[in-house]
Structure 1
Amino acid sequence: MADSSSTYLTATADAYDAVADLYADLARDSLGRLPLDRAMVAAFAELVRESGRRRVVEAGCGPGYMTAHLRDLGLDAYGVDVSPALLDIARRDYPGLRFELGSMGALDVADGELGGLVSWYSIIHLPPAELPAYFAEFRRVLAPGGHLLLGFFESEGGPVVEFDHKVTTAYRWPIDELAELAGKEEFVEVGRMLREPLEDERFRRGHLLMRRL
């Protein structure tokens, strides 16, 4: 289990707290122009619904727009984030949903309780050496057969690389390496999608849909 008091988590929380309103304004309607991204989320939601375990956590939920979208897709979704300011916005904008302060590396969830977990551009801020511990935590909270959906910046065939994210330190990952790391924690790949950047985006976007054994 990852250490929720780690320095990088504190730095990430402080950085997002400082720009919470601006970030929320930019992110709130972002899914509306991303049909391929929405298709991956829809596939995840359908698989979770079919499993009969509709409880899902968005790990690193930010201002809550994805958590709300998951609810609209028929899931019992709630969000967890390290940024108190972003959670305040999420609770204000989506008062009918549950949002908790905490690290996605130390979730307050019983073993095998969830049917699904979404990490939508939240693992990007984890130092690469820390990521295996987070995948272990994701495996712990998911029921056998539960699904994991990752959204991230893809490194376009290169190695893991740090880049100048507008909020705080972040990393781009090669999709094969990310799938291999998750595979070491008993996740098998269901499908993947690589999307080329839009005109106002810098990097290719990666999406991995995986199932816990």
Structure 2
Amino acid sequence: MRDRDDPDTAFLEATRTSYDAIAADYASAFPDAMGGLPFDRALISAFAEPARAHSPAPVAGLGSGPGHVTALVHGLGVPVFGVDLSPGMVALARRAYPALRFHVGTMTRLDLPDAFAEFHRVLRPGAPVLLTFQVADGQDRLHLTERFGHEIALDYHWRTPEKVARLLGEAGLEVYARALRERTRTSGIPGRSCWSASRARSAAGAPQALDGLHRGQTVHVPRRPRHAVQEALGAG
């Protein structure tokens, strides 16, 4: 068991507690998070087509939040389940989408190279990964102490698309498409959204994924099923 004084443990607990505090207000503020984002929906639809080719292996939706993206993928005919660090978010997702599976979970190895290597280990060869993360010019970190009127302690980390592509490639995930979208609504968080589509190169592998590039927000993905979509929790 990890020591509570360990900085990674403290970070995970602060992130979990913060998202639990804002879960209901976040879901109320964005009741149909994908409704006004046709570009994002199109990218997820493009992910769903190759993901269906690996069915019945399910998609793992990492950083699934209140479940909007998980439900969208399900509606596209792809078996999927969601995983989130916050029990409060998971409870909201289960209530909103009772026919889908949502689990509380996290990844113990938080560095991006290790996280991407773990993706490759569990993904089936050729399985697609759709990763979305935040990009802010001239900024690599933001610390928030308040959101939706709640006292929180949330750290947002930004990486450049070039760095993420390099790390994915080094982990055995071949990037074949990338898109950068300007922010379309006010959320109090600066930056743009980057979508990166990749596939697992042949090697020892298994699943597919949808996951939120929020440090500490990824999860252990079960051994031989999956695909991956990465949803950026808190990205507005």
Whether TM-score is above 0.5 comes out as: yes
Do residues 212 (structure 1) and 212 (structure 2) align?
Answer: no
Q: Which amino acid is 1:44 matched to?
A: F
Match of 1:75 among 75, 78, 84: 78
Where does residue 85 of structure 1 map in the other structure?
Answer: 88
| Residue of structure 1 equivalent to 2:155 | 169
Q: How far does the alpha carbon of each residue in 1:135-184 deviate from its partner, in whole angstroms, 9 at most, with x for none?
A: 1221122111111111111134x5x6002455610012210100101111
* Correspondences of 1:1-213 after superposition (within 5 Å): 6-103=9-106, 105=107, 130-156=111-137, 158=138, 161-164=140-143, 166=147, 168-198=154-184, 200=186, 202-213=190-201
Deviation at 1:199, TM superposition (A): 5.0
More helix by share: 1
CA RMSD of aligned residues (A): 2.2
SS in 2 for 1:178: helix
* Structure 1 spans left out of the alignment, 5+ residues: 108-125
Note the C-alpha offset of 1:65.
1.1
TM-score with structure 2 setting the length:
0.73
Bigger drift between 22-31 and 144-153 goes to 22-31
How many residues align? The count is 186
Equivalent AA in structure 2 for residue 198 of structure 1 = T
Consecutive unaligned residues in structure 2, runs of 5 or more = 1-5, 202-236
Letter in 2 for 1:210: S
Render the CA deviation track for 1:66-105: whole Å, top value 9, x for unaligned.
11111001111001111111111111110000011111x2
Q: 1: CA distance between counterparts of 2:130 and 2:31?
A: 19
Q: Is the 8 A contact 1:187 1:212 kept in 2?
A: yes
Give the TM-score taking structure 1 as reference length.
0.80
Deviations 1:115-138 (A, max 9, x none): xxxxxxxxxxx6xxx122211221
% identical aligned pairs: 38
